[in-house]
Amino acid sequence: MKSTLLALFACAAIAALPCVSQSPAPQDGVFTADFTNPGISPSHWVLTLHRDGSGHFHADGAKDGEPAKQTAIDVSGEDRDVHLSKEFADKVFATAQQHNWFNQNCESHYKVAFQGWKKISYSGPEGQGSCTFNYSQDKQIQTLGESLVGVAETLREGARLELLLQHDRLGLDQEMEYITDSAKDGRLREIVAIRDILERLAQDDELLERVRKRARSLLAQAGS
């Protein structure tokens, strides 16, 4: 009888092990935006993004003859990890899923002004695909392209702020005015991506109060 009870307890213990289950890791995928426009600076950048909002941004430095932003200090090139909002990442991946992981023709072939070639790609457990467009007739794809350009410009502005803080603090006043206006009209997206430099500006007592005030306002908009 004793041995029978011990065997039953052992079986119960073994059977209970699966109850302490480890949930499988959610399926992850990688979204990539590859932008090219020889008429602006930078003429080429690549943004990779994961579902949690983490990613990486690389922008080529300006080449001889390429136009540059008319500021005293411009960013020569970038290569940095970034973190966008989960809400933005959710929209990106939802758009990818709704469009068969971009296995479709995105380009409208309409005669519109050149806005830059945007190659959007997805690679993950569910599948993979990519499409390239200047202007898309699909409103979701076109909106995605515009928002990605806005994110890239935000990241570039964050890099400019870091340079200005080091080399031209008076230049921060004009740059922060531009960023504030651009965030309002949608030219800049995902201000949360440059939270770190904005926090540094907001807390720096040696800067103009206008600069600090605008930094605090942008942080509030970003949910900081």
Record the pTM. Answer: 0.84
> pLDDT-derived band of residue 5, with 50, 70 and 90 as boundaries?
very low
Annotate 37-68 with b (16+ C-beta within 10 A) or e (fewer). Answer: beebbbbbbbbbbbbebebebebbebeeeeee
pLDDT confidence of residue 28: 86
Residue 167 has pLDDT above 70, yes or no: yes
> pLDDT-derived band of residue 224, with 50, 70 and 90 as boundaries?
low
> What is the per-residue pLDDT across 94-136, written as a single tens digit (0 to 9) for each?
999 999 999 999 999 999 999 999 999 999 999 999 999 999 9
**Rounded-to-integer distance, Cα 210 and Cα 138, Å:** 41
Residue 207 has pLDDT above 70, yes or no: yes
pLDDT confidence of residue 77: 85
Residue 59 has pLDDT above 80, yes or no: yes
pLDDT confidence of residue 220: 96
153 burial (CB, 10 Å; 0-12 / 13-18 / 19+) is middle
